[in-house]
Structure 1
């Protein structure tokens, strides 16, 4: 239920159903403007705004390096969005299209997609390649954040 714009997305609050506009980068943690519950934060980044969107985030970020032509990437996307919804207010999901962000692909040595990286305060905590179901991804994220 997200419609993407250049700098913000619209997210429906899972608690009350109201629509909220979320910026790609913000100083705090997104909350519903009506019921004040944490919102799942799913956005995109590229070579030009990665530092602002990911490295400056106050909460941990799962970066999904993907491509629209990649079948496993399309399969893992709903599972990642479920993890982001389950951890709303504690995790940000940022999707990076490798075809549009070659410098980031090189910087993070992306050899296969999907490649997932957990980053907190600009530091890589964990990474994995390949698709997995939501419970396995949730376990991986929980483990990465516990370290």
Structure 2
């Protein structure tokens, strides 16, 4: 076998496994890899978004993330720390972008991670990437929800 035929065979096997995973519904685990992140946040879907986020009286931080996203994984410890700091005054949620195309379109999520802070059903802050985390804290402080020392 020549190098070219080996390369084509490997490529064909990759395509075949990808197609089979789509057809048979095989997927990577949908659970966050970080158990602390899973415990500190509530999973939100298109079905419960209005109840959990928009109708909530407290500020709500929504993390639009993807299981495949390494930057999302880097952001998780910072979100866990914020969730602990604001546990009495804010709600922290996560939306898996692979399962919520309607929410992605509605809130114009163009990259992951995207962090959105809602207060009384309105967007107070929206930003993307690791650099959005300090602005989330500022948005929470601006809604007068800072935990008393």
More helix by share: 2
Give TM class, smaller chain: 0.5 to 0.7
Q: Is the 8 A contact 1:59 1:92 kept in 2?
A: yes
Runs of 4+ in 1 over 4 A off after TM superposition: 1-4
CA displacement at 1:145 relative to structure 2: 2.4
Q: Report the CA distance between 1:118 and its aligned residue.
A: 0.5
* TM, length-normalised to structure 1: 0.66
Inter-partner Cα distance in structure 1 for 2:136 and 2:81 = 9
RMSD value, Cα: 2.3
> 1:65–1:113: 8 Å Cα contact kept in structure 2?
yes
Answer yes or no: is the 8 Å Cα contact 2:37–2:77 preserved in 1: no
Tell me how far 1:81 sits from its aligned partner: 1.4
Calculate the TM-score normalised by the size of structure 2.
0.65
Higher relative contact order (CA 8 A, sep 6+): 2
Q: Which residue is 1:49 aligned to?
A: 48
Picking from 143, 146, 149, the partner of 1:145 is: 143
Q: Which secondary structure state, in structure 1, belongs to the residue aligned with residue 126 of structure 2?
A: strand
Unaligned runs of 5+ in 1: 5-10, 12-40
Provide the residue aligned with 1:98 in structure 2: 97
Aligned residues: 110
Residue number in structure 1 paired with 2:106:
107
Structure 1 pair 144–108 and aligned structure 2 pair: CA distance change class (3 A) = farther
Q: Which has the larger radius of gyration?
A: 2
Partner of 1:85: 84
Long gaps (5+) in structure 2: 1-34, 145-149
Q: Is the 8 A contact 1:66 1:113 kept in 2?
A: yes
Task: Note if contact 1:117-1:128 (Cα within 8 Å) is conserved in structure 2.
Answer: yes
